[in-house]
Amino acid sequence: MIDKKKKINLPKINWKSSVCEVCGETFDYMSKKRPKVCKKGECQYKYHYNIDRHSWAGHQFSLFEK
């Protein structure tokens, strides 16, 4: 027989947020160690091979400047 007075306690999940070092986007994670890049494959590739943000093929210096 199941005792209906017992409460089921679920584990608490502590979501934390971090900023990707490659694209600058914020993302959530739950691991103990803070990840440095988001889960996008392109960001992980650029971080792994140390490609500078200003040397990307699509980077344009005057795109957002007035």
The residue that leads in pLDDT, 54 or 66, is: 54
User: Domain map of the chain by residue range?
Assistant: 16-54
Look at the block and give the residue holding tokens 């600058």: 24
Distance CA 60, CA 28 (A): 29
Q: What is the pLDDT of residues 12-45, one digit of tens each?
A: 777 889 999 888 899 998 888 888 898 888 888 8
Residue 47 half-sphere exposure toward CB, CA atoms < 13 A:
15
**pTM assigned to the model:** 0.52
4 pLDDT more than 70: no
